[in-house]
Structure 1
Amino acid sequence: MNNHLLAEVTREEVQLATFQLGATKVPGLDGFNGLFYHSHWDIIQDDVFTTVQNFFITGVLPADINRTSICLIPKVPNPERISQQLGNVPDFETIAALLWQIWKARNHVIFRHHFTQPDQLVDSALALAHLHITVQNPHLQQQPKTGKKSPNPNTTWLPPVQGMIKVNIDGAFPIAENLGVISSIIRDHKGSLLRGFTKSVPATSALATEIQALLYTLKDLLQQGKHHSDLIIETDCIILVEAINHERLPPWECRALLSECEAILPSFSNMKVQHCRRSANALAD
């Protein structure tokens, strides 16, 4: 068996494989289909055999041989979504949302030791993709059916008005470890992702982690030259919002971090820090 696999390829084998090509199958970029090779075999057989033989000797296949051209055939007039062209193929937003949820689930395992069920991960990705699509294409939104409740705007992420930027921040603090994880997601009025980051930070409490999420976000916005932009920062930590708006006195161990944030805030022309429900902060969670 081994000798048979290591034997040199023969002309008969190459010819047999060539004549198994579908005669009318889609041609390559050169426009030649199987019928061309069948009809002109007596002329091209030496070139074909030499190319195949060189591959088995060198292991190198000319790049042009595997090049192809893909043409999308619309399933409906004036398609607006990839799924309207390729049938059951998911939209880019769905693929991107699924990859994002997988990445988040990986971080949850590493930093929180929390495992996400695969079906929950997929459901979250589909919901996120649907939100992104409807935000970017309001005309695609369907009116709620009679008898069904409209979605509660307080439980889903709402885009800012045109011209504004919304930043969602979050922090996670695993108990028994002096290490927290922060994340920040920046989006525009269309729901398009402008920037995002995640970072491990030293922390002694959940609140200290949440404050550092705000601190590093402020620094990042300054670095990106966003200090003159109209900004909204959302967090699901009500204590942080009340402390930064001077409605509550933070614990003494967090006051130094909060003072750092307060020292940076005057650098921004128009910024608002507000609370949102955790479900509306899901992308940064």
Structure 2
Amino acid sequence: MAKNSFEEFNDAATLDLFHPRTSHTHCWSPPPPGVFKINVDGSSSDIEESSSIGVIIRDCKGQIVAAFCKPLQSHYTAELVEVFALEQGIRLAQESQLSRVIFESDALTVINAVNDSAFGAPHGHIIQDISHAQTSFSFCSFRHLNRDFNLAAHELAQFARRNRSVHLWKGVTPSFLVPFVQADMLH
């Protein structure tokens, strides 16, 4: 059913500019100077009964600060794997002692749950931990990014699932990831 102009105005009037519910990004874009962007993704295969996560941290020039991927112990739902990926992204940012961060995920329901402090939602206890972790940063934002522009994090998750091993790279781009990092910036 189409919205009338009053409903459209009301929706526009209630937008929160600091925590956008959706992003209309046309490509991966570097963060402002002094801010780091952390892209996360989860992968869950019903066929292989496996799950994995990928995290990539980039600076204002698009350079990789860290990349991480990990297979999970069990098979989980796609949404829960996305929550785990975001949780791991926060840990990696904290371990890297970053103070100003933007987290991006292609899981809109997870980003909305964090931004809305939806602690009663499925996996609410982890959402609550993620929400409380924001206080460890001087600036922290959670944004939705279209799946087409989250290729590097997606490929990291796929790599972990295929290889069934944990990997961490700091200050270098793994060779298999180069085309995906470039594709994120070119779309």
Range into which the TM-score falls when normalised by the shorter chain: 0.5 to 0.7
In 1, Cα distance between equivalents of 2:86 and 2:36:
15
Distance in 2 (alpha carbons) for counterparts of 1:179 and 1:258: 22
TM-fit CA distance, 1:255: 1.8
Query: Does 1:163 pair with 2:39?
Result: no
Q: Is the 8 A contact 2:119 2:125 kept in 1?
A: no
Q: Which AA in structure 2 matches 1:243?
A: A
The counterpart of 1:213, out of the listed 85, 104, 126, is 85
Q: Spell out, residue by residue over 1:79-112, the C-alpha distance to the aligned partner (whole angstroms, 9 max, x if none).
A: xxxxxxxxxxxxxxxxxxxxxxxxxxxxxxxxxx
TM-score using structure 1 length: 0.42
Q: Is 2:98 the counterpart of 1:231?
A: no
> Are the equivalent residues in 2 in contact too, given 1:173–1:181 (CA < 8 A)?
yes
Could you say what secondary structure the match of 1:154 adopts? coil
User: Aligned residue pairs: how many?
Assistant: 130
Deviation at 1:277, TM superposition (A): 0.8
Q: For the residues of structure 2 that align with 1:184 and 1:204, how far apart are their CA atoms?
A: 18
**Structure 2 contact 114–131 (Cα < 8 Å) conserved:** yes
Which position in structure 1 is the counterpart of 2:66?
195
SS in 2 for 1:173: strand
Partner in structure 1 of residue 152 of structure 2: 283
Q: What secondary structure does 2:68 align onto?
A: strand
Q: Does the 8 Å CA contact 2:117/2:131 hold for their aligned counterparts?
A: no
Distance 1:165 1:218, change over 3 A: same
Worse-matched range after superposition: 172-181 or 193-202: 172-181
Residues 179 and 264 of structure 1: is their aligned pair in 2 closer, same or farther, counting only changes over 3 Å?
farther
Larger Rg: 1
Measured after TM superposition, the shift of residue 267 of structure 1 is 1.4
Shift of 1:265: 2.2
* Superposition deviation, residue 214 in structure 1: 0.8
- How far off its partner does 1:225 sit? 1.4
Name the structure 2 match of 1:240.
Answer: 110
Match of 2:126 in 1: 257
Q: Percent identity?
A: 27
Contact (CA 8 Å) 2:41, 2:85: kept in 1 or not?
A: yes
Could you say what the CA RMSD is over the residues aligned between the two structures, in angstroms? 2.0
Gaps of 5+ in 2: 1-23, 155-187
1:283/1:250 CA distance change after superposition, 3 Å: farther
Distance 1:181 1:160, change over 3 A: same
Of structures 1 and 2, the one with the larger relative CO (CA 8 A, separation 6+) is 2
1:256 CA displacement: 2.5
Residue 91 of structure 2 aligns with an amino acid whose one-letter code is K
Residue 222 of structure 1: CA displacement?
1.3
Which of structure 1's runs of 4+ aligned residues deviate more than 6 A?
none
1:96 aligns with none
Determine the C-alpha separation between the residues in 2 that align with 1:157 and 1:243.
22
Q: What is the one-letter code of the residue matched to 1:206?
A: A
Deviation for aligned residue 1:184 = 0.5
1:154 is aligned to 2:14: no
Cα drift, residue 251 of structure 1? 4.2
Distance in 2 between the 1:245 and 1:161 partners?
A: 21
